[in-house]
Amino acid sequence: MDGAVLSREFFDGPVEEVAPALLGHVISHRTPEGEVAARLTEVEAYAGPLDPASHAYRGPTPRNEVMFGPPGHVYVYFTYGMHFCMNLVCGPDGTSMAVLLRAGEIISGEDVARARRPRSTVRDLARGPARLCQALGVAREQNGLDVCAPGGAMTVLRGEPADPALIRNGPRTGVNGAKEIPWRFWIEGDPTVSPYRPHVPRQRRKITTEG
DNA sequence: ATCATGATGTTCT
DNA sequence: GAACATCATGATG
């Protein structure tokens, strides 16, 4: 790792091309606790207004506004009442494409990541989108950060790009709409890639058939 | 290894 | 009110 930050132009393109191109590069986040870096092994592309699975499908809202801004910024959202997930915004300002970072291998700051996820094995530290955010210390406060600024708290560093022969793609994990769009990308054989789970509708908690 | 389930609260309708 | 780009845990093979 030579410390070079990926340029904003890298993110300023079609999301289905940027997403696989990110595999092998490195997301790094510095906090007072220390710096943690993860080599990306699994991502998903979301295509804005054309994509029923995208948070931007129904247009801008307070939550998704950074998706509509310039590329190279982080979109963080809160889900299931307890987890954060992070995306990198792609495409020109005014469009709303983004790449969900789903999994990675911790390559530096492992002690800090382990302190944040004390019950996790090393392999599972960033194996899943919410785990990745936890290991990196990413939450609401990081929403909107620019990852293309050298010296910034959060950056995407140039790593060894994944061998194209090892990149696989398939349907996105846990999404309801547009199940046929095969925009999950991962590095075949890497142990830190998360297990695929199809979408399951939540059953209603309370059933009041009696009384 | 797989499967089922509960936890939790924000966001949009 | 319903859905939600999930995870940890415990049961089972």
Q: Contact, A105 vs A42, CB < 8 A?
A: no
Per-residue pLDDT at A211 = 32
**Strand nucleotide closest to residue A57 (CA to C1'):** B12
The whole-angstrom separation of Cα A152 and Cα A166 is 31
Closest CA to A42 of A150, A174, A144, A148: A174
d(CA A94, CA A133): 26
Protein-to-nucleotide distance from the CA of A198 to the C1' of B3, whole angstroms: 13
Q: Is A201's CB less than 7 Å from nucleic acid strand C?
A: yes
Cβ atoms of residues A83 and A171 within 8 Å: no
Q: Rounded to an integer, what is the distance from CA A130 to the centroid of its chain? A: 9
Report pLDDT digits (tens) over A24-65.
Answer: 999 999 999 999 999 999 999 999 999 999 999 999 999 999
What is the end-to-end Cα distance of chain A in Å, rounded? 65
> What's the Å distance between residue A5 CA and nucleotide C8 C1'?
35
Helix (H, G, I), strand (E, B) or coil at A20: helix
Condensed to tens digits (0 to 9), the pLDDT of residues A164-199 reads 999 999 999 999 888 889 999 999 999 999 999 999
* Closest nt to residue A203, judged CA to C1': B5
Position A205 scores a pLDDT of 56
Phi, psi dihedrals of residue A30, rounded to the nearest 5°: -110, 130
- CA separation for the pair A43, A102 (Å, rounded): 5
